[in-house]
Amino acid sequence: MSVFNKDKAACCGCNACAEICPKHCIQMVEDAQGFIYPQVDSSVCVECGMCEKVCPLEVANLSLRKPLKAYAAWNKNRQEHLLSSSGGAAYIFSSYIIEKGGVVYGCTSDGIDVRHIRVENHSELFKLQGSKYVQSDVRGLFKKVKNDLKIGKTVLFIGTPCQVAGLKNYIGHHNEHLYLVDLICHGVPSKQMLHEHIKHVAKGEKIQHISFRKGTDYRFSITANKFSYEVSLWETPYKDLYLRGFIEGMINRPCCYQCPFACSTRVSDITIGDFWGLKNAELLPKESKDGISLLLPMTDKGLNLIHAVGDNMYICERSVDEAVNGNTQLRHPSLQGRRSRLFNILYPILSFDTAMNIVLADHKAIWTLKTIIIKHVRRNK
C-alpha cells in the first residue's frame, strides 16, 4: 500500500486515510519530531485501497479551481475585528452559518492544545478566533462532519488546504450544504515543537492561553497564573525562537516544502488570508489598518456566501493578479533552506530551543550588533 511506504514528504497528516478505513486498521502516530503519520496493522488490512483514494496528496490536482474574483475585506464590528486575524472574515462567515442553524468546524487553542472543534452557537465562536501557527489535530472530526451533513445540517469547515482536501475526498461527493474555506498557509510546525518551546519559556507553569498575532503584528504571547510572556517579531525579531522559525519556514512539516496547494488554483469554496501587497492601502478607511482579509471565491457557492455577509463587512473588489502577486504562497510553497535542513539534523537529538539557537546563531549576532550600533548612533546625535 504505497500511501504508507512513501517518504514523509508524501503525507500531510490530514487523517483522511485513518477515518475512511473500513477495518479501522490505520492509526496516526507521532514521529520523533511530533508530526503524525499513518501506521497500518497489516494483519487486519484487506487492501481495499480506500486510504489511497482519499489521500489529498495522491489526488491533489483533481478539483483545483481558479479564483472567480478577489476582494479586500474587514469586519465592520471593531471588537470582533481586533480579536480576529487579518480582517476577521472567518468570524463573519462562521457567525452567518450559525445564524442559519448550521455548525462550524475550526481550530482552537485550549491552553497549549491546538485542535479542531465543532461549534454550534455564537457564545463559542470566540474559541476559533486568532491565528494558530501549528498543525491542528483533526482526528475524529471528519466523521462528525459527515454525520452533520447526513441529518441536513449546513456545515462550514475552515482549515489548511490539505485538511480541506482530505475532508473533501472523505465526503466523496459534492454537497451543497458543505462550505469549505481554506487558509493561505505558509506551512505547519508540529505541536511537539510548540509544547517544548512553551515549556522552556514558561519554566513549567501551567499555561492558560497562547496567542500568535495581535492585529497585523506577529506577537507571540503566553499567559499563565504566575507568568506572562509577550514578544513582537517586529520589535525583537530573534527573541522568540518558535515564532522566528515559523516565519522563516524553518520548522515546517516535510510535505509543506512540496505543497501542491500553494498556488492560485485552490481546493475550497473560498480562500482567505492576509491581503499582503495591497496597493494604495493608505486610501482605505482607518479601520482597515487593524488588518485586511483577502477573499478569493473559487466557486459560485463561495461567491454567494461572500455576498450574503456583505452587510457585515467592508468589501473592496481588487484584481486577482494583485492578490496573487502579494502572497508568495499563492505562487509556490515555502522554500526549504539550509537552516531548515540543519534544524532537521539537530532536532530532536537536541531540544527545540537548543537546536534553534544553533541554527539562528549568526542571524542573532548580526541583529544584536545592528541594535548596538543604532543605539550608539542615537545617543551621539
Enumerate domains of the chain plus CATH numbers: 2-54 (3.30.70), 70-188+253-330 (3.40.640), 191-251+334-364 (no CATH)
Q: Is the predicted pLDDT of residue 377 greater than 90, yes or no?
A: no
Q: For residues 16 and 78, which has the higher predicted lDDT (pLDDT)?
A: 16
Segment 329-336 shows an average pLDDT of 96
| 254 vs 62, higher pLDDT | 254
Provide the β-strand partners of residue 71: 295, 317
- Of the two residues 253 and 237, the one the predictor is more confident about is 253
Q: Please report the pLDDT score of residue 368 as a whole number.
A: 58
* Least trusted range by pLDDT, from 36-45, 223-232, 241-250: 223-232
Determine contact, residues 88/81, Cβ cutoff 8 Å: yes
Instruction: Check residue 133 and give its pLDDT.
Output: 92
Mean pLDDT of 254-265: 96
Confidence band, pLDDT 50/70/90 cuts, at residue 234:
low
What percent of the chain stands above pLDDT 90?
Answer: 68
Name, of 204-213, 269-278, 288-297, the range with top average pLDDT: 269-278
pLDDT at 270: 98
**Is residue 277 a contact partner of residue 321, using CB atoms and an 8 Å limit?**
no
Q: How far apart are CA 144 and CA 214, in angstroms?
A: 32
Q: What is the mean pLDDT of residues 82-100?
A: 89
Looking up cell 510548540, which residue turns up?
194
For residue range 145-196, what is the model confidence (pLDDT) as tens digits?
Answer: 999 999 999 999 999 999 999 999 999 888 999 999 999 999 999 999 999 9
Least confident span in 29-33, 176-180, 199-203, 257-261: 199-203
Q: What is the pLDDT of residue 28?
A: 95
Over residues 34-46, the mean pLDDT reads 94
Name the DSSP letter for residue 102: -
Order across the sheet with 227-232: list the strands.
207-214, 217-224, 227-232
- What pTM did the predictor assign? 0.91
Q: Are 26 and 18 in contact (CB under 8 A)?
A: yes
In the predicted model, is pLDDT for residue 374 greater than 70? no
DSSP alpha helix (H) spans, the chain: 2-5, 16-20, 50-54, 78-83, 89-99, 141-150, 161-171, 191-202, 241-247, 300-308, 320-326, 338-346, 352-359, 361-379
Contact 127, 117 (CB under 8 A): yes
Residue 10 identity (one-letter amino acid): A
